[in-house]
Amino acid sequence: MSDHDHHGDGVSRRKVLECMTWAGTGVLWTITGGVPRSLGIVDQALAAEPAGMTFLQISDSHVGFDKPANPNAIGTLEEAINKINAMPKKPSFMIHTGDITHLSKVKEFDDADRIISQAKLDVHYVPGEHDIIDEEVKLYKERYGRGTKGGGWYSFDAGGVHFVGLVNVANLKGGGLGSLGDDQLEWLEDDLKGKSKSTPVVLFAHIPLWTVYPQWGWGTEDGARALEYVKGFGSVTVLNGHIHQVMQKVEGNVTFHTARSTAFPQPAPGTAPSPGPMKVEDAKLRSLLGVASINFKQGNERLAIIDTPLQG
């Protein structure tokens, strides 16, 4: 499952080689019986041929980024999409957990659309802070906000799972963390009312809803309130981006997971002077980028999550 397998002592040479070919793609999630589980890297997931519904998570494509940490963020996004297209079993849809673009420019959104649409999947987006910095703060909502509430939050049902896309990057206050705000939290409480507690719930947002590292702003100040509303549900999965690395924890019925970026890695909490882009050797870059795939199988208790590096 996820990263640990690839860096542990027992890693086979074949697995190492697999890892090296897939650094920067996404996380494959499988939802079995309610709790998402990471299936590991995509190639392993493919080998396992998960039954049930599978969806993909990609994150932090930062189209337009061209700094030393990855001068070609468009290229690695294309690699991720090619990887997805090569999957033998087509996922049902994709979620993008924000920072589609680097600077909210029209061309960046256009380029992102052009590349991501090549996966020919429905994509459910939430914005990252990089997607709402155009002068009039309208480009994200024009493109992805149709039918959403407030700053772009919404919910939908797929494969027996209730999905909720949340926005925690807007109207942030000085000295604070990510924020959902009262309006959105009230809407969330209402949205979940009347749902059977056996319905698996997936919450996705850009900044982690749990406190990963507040010194770097990696958390959501009112995230605990959102988690309060899903407390009674048997299976809750929280999918985030923003921190450009895989992190996972399980607390009771709640599984928290962050996906890799398709653009550039960021350091582990506290291991660098800042959370800025981490420059690594060219040969290593693709092992730190990736996608996630999630599989949900009715009747099982967990969603299975597979983090797949672009190369690795």
Judged by the rule CB under 8 A, the positions of this chain that interact with other proteins are 67-69, 102-104, 129-130, 133, 135, 172-177, 214-217, 273-277
* Cβ-based nearer residue to other proteins, 52 or 219: 219
User: What six digits make up the tokens of 294?
Assistant: 């999630």
Q: Tell me the pairing of strands 93-96 and 123-125.
A: parallel
DSSP state of 302: E
> From the CB of 275, what's the least distance to other proteins, in Å?
6
DSSP state of 130: G
Q: Tell me if 307 sits within 8 A of 40, measured CB to CB.
A: yes
Q: What DSSP letter does each residue of 216-246 carry, written as one string?
A: GTBSBTTHHHHHHHTTT-S-EEEEE-SSSS-
* Cβ-based nearer residue to other proteins, 69 or 185: 69
- For residue 67, the one-letter residue type is K
Query: What is d(CA 259, CA 193) in angstroms, rounded to the nearest whole number?
Result: 29
* Cβ-based nearer residue to other proteins, 114 or 279: 279
Q: Tell me if 1 sits within 8 A of 255, measured CB to CB.
A: no
> From the CB of 273, what's the least distance to other proteins, in Å?
4
> From the CB of 232, what's the least distance to other proteins, in Å?
32
Angle at 54 between CA 48 and CA 59, to 5 degrees: 110
* Cβ-based nearer residue to other proteins, 11 or 172: 172
Q: Tell me the pairing of strands 93-96 and 53-58.
A: parallel
Q: Tell me if 230 sits within 8 A of 254, measured CB to CB.
A: yes
Helix H or strand E encompassing 158: strand 154-158
Q: Tell me if 146 sits within 8 A of 183, measured CB to CB.
A: no
> From the CB of 106, what's the least distance to other proteins, in Å?
13
* Cβ-based nearer residue to other proteins, 214 or 232: 214
Nearest by Cα to 28 from 99, 80, 78: 80
* Cβ-based nearer residue to other proteins, 68 or 147: 68
> From the CB of 217, what's the least distance to other proteins, in Å?
4
> From the CB of 153, what's the least distance to other proteins, in Å?
19
* Cβ-based nearer residue to other proteins, 12 or 274: 274
Q: How many residues does the chain have?
A: 312
Dihedral, CA of residue 47, residue 239, residue 129 and residue 244, to nearest 10: -50
> From the CB of 175, what's the least distance to other proteins, in Å?
5
> From the CB of 134, what's the least distance to other proteins, in Å?
8
* Cβ-based nearer residue to other proteins, 88 or 174: 174
